[in-house]
Structure 1
Amino acid sequence: MAGFKIRLLLNVGIFLSIVNADRTVFIDPNDPWQVLEGWGTSLCWWANALGGFPDVRDQTADLVFDLDKGLGLNVIRYNIGGGDNQSHHHMRIGGDVPGFRPCQNCDYNWTSDANQRWILFAAKERGADIFEAFSNSPPYWMTNSGCSSGGPNYANNLNSDYYDQFADYLTEVVKWYKDEQGLVFRTLEPFNEPTTGLWKEFGSQEGCTYKYLAMDEVVDKVGAYLNKKGLSGTTSVSIADEGLFEGEITTIAAISTLNIFGDHAKSYVSQYNTHAYFGFLRTPLFDIAKNDGKRLWMSEWGSWSSKDMSASIKLSEQILNDMRNLKPVAWVYWQVIEHAPNGNDGKDYGLIGADFSNSTTPLDIRLSFYGFAQYTKFIRPGYQIIFSNDGDTLAAQDKQKNTCFSLHK
């Protein structure tokens, strides 16, 4: 199978690029698609671990966010931790992200989440410029189960008595970062895969199932609190980070979920987020976002690592399919770094393997890291994605330099 190939093309009408001996690809800058905002990653769960390792965290931040030394990711998704009951000990390593209110009667603890916060600002120092805050779960004391990894039998887990307090909690964190830390979250996402049926009590990470009408009410309240706290001029709401595009037998997914939100709730929403693990209705979802006047992100995807090029090829195929058919303005990898203390055994999603319990273990930089870099380093924020007639090619135009790039799998 062909590897990654790059061609620099002069900007002269319709372009012809011979990318290998048996394929001709036509590229047309007069047929513009989306303008790329950037490439990104979520900070959970790796930042909660590595941000506490002074001897490795700078190297880590360079590899992920510095363009010269690494991937140059500029889109950051920051997890507002709910925080679990302190008597629980069931989260994966790194997954026990502390919340800012450890109990119902507790004051906010703004020293909380220091590790993830270190990585957040390290990303900003290295050029990251688009920040989204999102929630995997409310604080445990707002849940029906009393556990921030989910409800019994995967049930809805946000107690309806706490809709207001949950919206207040999320927006208060966003306000603190803006007022006290000088960091603005452009969007705030209250959900993460809310209807996939994956989240149960005593699980390995935070998660929360939501009833469909509850999501509409929560978005309404989050938007109202943003207004009340004077944040609506800088922060809007994003929804709904479903795990697939269309519904299956037991799953309501991105397209179906968007239909449950009323016009009032949607008035607070500027951005539709979708994960891309399953499903094929990319173009219909793009059309919905366009018709609704909402920005569209592919906000999460990841896949098993490998010791050969297979993970890189799969990653490239995913990016090509999403960028050509879903046409998001940002493409976000799930966790660029995973806990892999015994090396690359193919059982994690990381582009880099690390030992979250031992900072002296060398980082394991996988081939898929370099595969992702072929996109992140050569098609940069602000580039115009343009037409190409080949499904294995992604073409982009740097209008400032009057040049085009094409990436071929």
Structure 2
Amino acid sequence: MRFKPYLALIIIGLLVIACQNESGDKDGEDETSSTPISLIVLPSQTFQTIQNFGASDAWSTQFVGKFWPDEAKNQMAKWLFSTENDTDGNPMGIGLSCWRFNIGGGSAEQGNDSQIGDEWRRAETFLNEDGSYDWTKQEGQQWFLKTAKANGINQFIGFVNSPPVSLTKNGKAWSDNGSSANLDASNYPAYADFLVNVIGNVETQTGVSFNFISPFNEPQWDWKCCGQEGSPWNNSELFAMTEKLDSAFQKNNISAKIELTEAGQIDYLYSFSNLPNRGNQIKNFFDPNGSFYVGDLPSVAYKVAGHSYYSTWDTDWLIESRTLLNQKMKEVSSDLPYWMTEYTILENNDEIKGNGRDLGMNAALYMARVIHADLTVANAEAWQWWLAISPYDYKDGLIYTDYSKFGGNYTDSKMLWALGHYSRFIRPGYQRVQVRRSDNKTDIKGLLFSGYVSPNFDELIVVLTNQTTREHSIEWSGLSENYKSVEVYLTNGSEDNNLTFQGVFELDSLITLPRKSMVTCVIKN
């Protein structure tokens, strides 16, 4: 249904009134709610092509997928994967386009002997101690793999925290000393064979073909006893293991590509920081003159992967670190892509604390600002959250469950729907385009905006994040007359507004952004 401009203003005005139950002071911007902000959208000025938005299956899906009632796990899967709308036009899920599968190291089979106290952070392995395989393992995770594929996801990443414990130096899924890989060089070929077998047999079991394999998750950290599975890797070890893995992939006609570098912080990508043996990874691995150049290996994905942890506060560092990252990427190659492959709110700073669940807008807006910076400053082609489902009292989940293996309560969060403002509408192949205010103002703590165009230019997506405590109105400028209408979707502090469809409006309608909200506008021909 299409509304006239005056009716659009009435409807959105009522929406603003409904949001006044949230407290807050006015921000310092000089605009009033009656002064529209003019956004100039230039679809012809394009930047990176978006590949996907995703999340990982660690750790909860091993229990949720295996033991929880069908009704519960199907609803969780719908929230994560669905691109369908209900009868009122509201998205039923956030339409993730990528799913990360944790290839376990075997601490689960060790039980308490693993010394990892939290069984939710232990993971099964397909590899038995005698060298045989059991492809029924990781059953709950395989359920989510199959369900993701059934919902249209076609990008899958298999990532490894620790090699199988039967191969590691200490027989554990963590490191004794944190100084080197918990895998002796004599077992590099065995680790490569393991991953080759996992790729082929997971496809047989689930129908899912991994696009990428990430063998070295956050190699900068020491991963000592005993919080979870993990292994450190020095750059020289990464290089040697990657060569072995590339050879095994080529020999076995594996189409999956090796994903590097999965740095635990983005500054390790462009500087040595405090770890000379594990830093400066862009130059080391992707510069032809680098010490450990792998860019010419046929099974290595030509991209750089990094995690946004500890780079989001303060906001000056949020921008500076991503600017430096982008500069280093361009120095090495103008066409080397960057993927942000893991983030959750770990920081404890003046604005937010990692501890304690926050199902509301504070955490969602913090998350949205990080996504915005990664896409618009670092030019990330992909953005992937950490825990799709979390049982913890922490700001780490899109969906939260009771700490119960066999069923219980579960709930969505505003962080789920915040990610959905991007993932549901910006599909693989869309390009980021130029969007700016007519007055050229920018404020990383205020109103954020970014635009994306479909491959055939018939659809423009503009994601708007209002972090301020006052409402703002938006008008469009610079668009050709080919664009006729705007679909509007809203998430704010109201329980009723989770990526909620607001209607279809004429292009000359003002779009009002309630305080502390996210609005996605789908502009169509």
TM tier relative to shorter chain: 0.7 to 0.9
Alignment of 1:25-64 (within 5 A): 25-55=39-69, 56-64=72-80
Match of 1:299 in 2: 341
1:274 matched to 2:306? The reply is yes
Contact 1:143 1:159 in 2 (8 A): yes
| TM-aligned CA distance change 1:22 to 1:92, over 3 Å | farther
TM-score normalised over the length of structure 2: 0.68
1:331 matched to 2:383? The reply is yes
Match of 1:243 in 2: 264
Counterpart of 1:126 in structure 2: which amino acid?
N
- Cα distance in 2 for partners of 1:289, 1:112 equals 41
Match of 2:236 in 1: 213
TM-score normalised over the length of structure 1: 0.86
Match of 1:366 in 2: 413
| TM-aligned CA distance change 1:28 to 1:70, over 3 Å | same
- Residue 297 of structure 1 aligns to a residue whose secondary structure is strand
Contact 2:294 2:300 in 1 (8 A): no
| TM-aligned CA distance change 1:120 to 1:332, over 3 Å | same
Deviations 1:79-119 (A, max 9, x none): 1111126232525343221111131x231111111111111
* Alpha-carbon distance, 1:65 to partner: 0.9
Alignment of 1:124-273 (within 5 A): 124-153=149-178, 155-179=180-204, 181-197=206-222, 199-201=223-225, 203-231=226-254, 234-247=255-268, 248-250=273-275, 252=279, 254-255=281-282, 258=285, 259-263=290-294, 266-270=297-301, 271-273=303-305
Larger Rg: 2
Counterpart of 1:396 in structure 2: which amino acid?
Y
| TM-aligned CA distance change 1:157 to 1:109, over 3 Å | same
Counterpart of 2:339 in structure 1: which amino acid?
W
* Alpha-carbon distance, 1:166 to partner: 0.7
Counterpart of 1:193 in structure 2: which amino acid?
E
Measured on the aligned residues, the alpha-carbon RMSD in Å equals 2.5
With 248-257 and 315-324 compared, the bigger mean Cα shift is at 248-257
Contact 1:300 1:333 in 2 (8 A): yes
Contact 1:82 1:97 in 2 (8 A): yes
Contact 1:83 1:98 in 2 (8 A): yes
With 171-180 and 75-84 compared, the bigger mean Cα shift is at 171-180
Q: Which runs of 5+ in 1 are unaligned?
A: 6-18
Match of 2:371 in 1: 319
- Residue 333 of structure 1 aligns to a residue whose secondary structure is strand
Match of 2:37 in 1: 23
- Residue 243 of structure 1 aligns to a residue whose secondary structure is coil
- Cα distance in 1 for partners of 2:188, 2:398 equals 37
Match of 1:88 in 2: 114
With 249-258 and 273-282 compared, the bigger mean Cα shift is at 249-258
Aligned residues: 382
With 175-184 and 331-340 compared, the bigger mean Cα shift is at 175-184
Counterpart of 2:327 in structure 1: which amino acid?
P
Contact 2:360 2:414 in 1 (8 A): yes
- Cα distance in 1 for partners of 2:235, 2:196 equals 21
1:283 matched to 2:326? The reply is yes
- Residue 120 of structure 2 aligns to a residue whose secondary structure is coil
* Alpha-carbon distance, 1:121 to partner: 0.8
Deviations 1:305-359 (A, max 9, x none): 424421111111001100012222211111121113xxxx5x2411221124254
With 353-362 and 274-283 compared, the bigger mean Cα shift is at 353-362
- Cα distance in 2 for partners of 1:138, 1:35 equals 33
Contact 1:192 1:207 in 2 (8 A): yes
With 19-28 and 370-379 compared, the bigger mean Cα shift is at 19-28
* Alpha-carbon distance, 1:161 to partner: 1.7
* Alpha-carbon distance, 1:181 to partner: 4.1
With 261-270 and 399-408 compared, the bigger mean Cα shift is at 261-270
With 171-180 and 34-43 compared, the bigger mean Cα shift is at 171-180
Q: Tell me the percent identity.
A: 24
* Alpha-carbon distance, 1:260 to partner: 4.5
Counterpart of 1:80 in structure 2: which amino acid?
I
- Cα distance in 2 for partners of 1:263, 1:348 equals 36
| TM-aligned CA distance change 1:294 to 1:91, over 3 Å | farther
* Alpha-carbon distance, 1:240 to partner: 1.3
- Cα distance in 1 for partners of 2:117, 2:142 equals 20
Q: 1:106 aligns with which of 109, 124, 131?
A: 131
Match of 1:10 in 2: none
1:351 matched to 2:367? The reply is no
Contact 1:220 1:268 in 2 (8 A): no
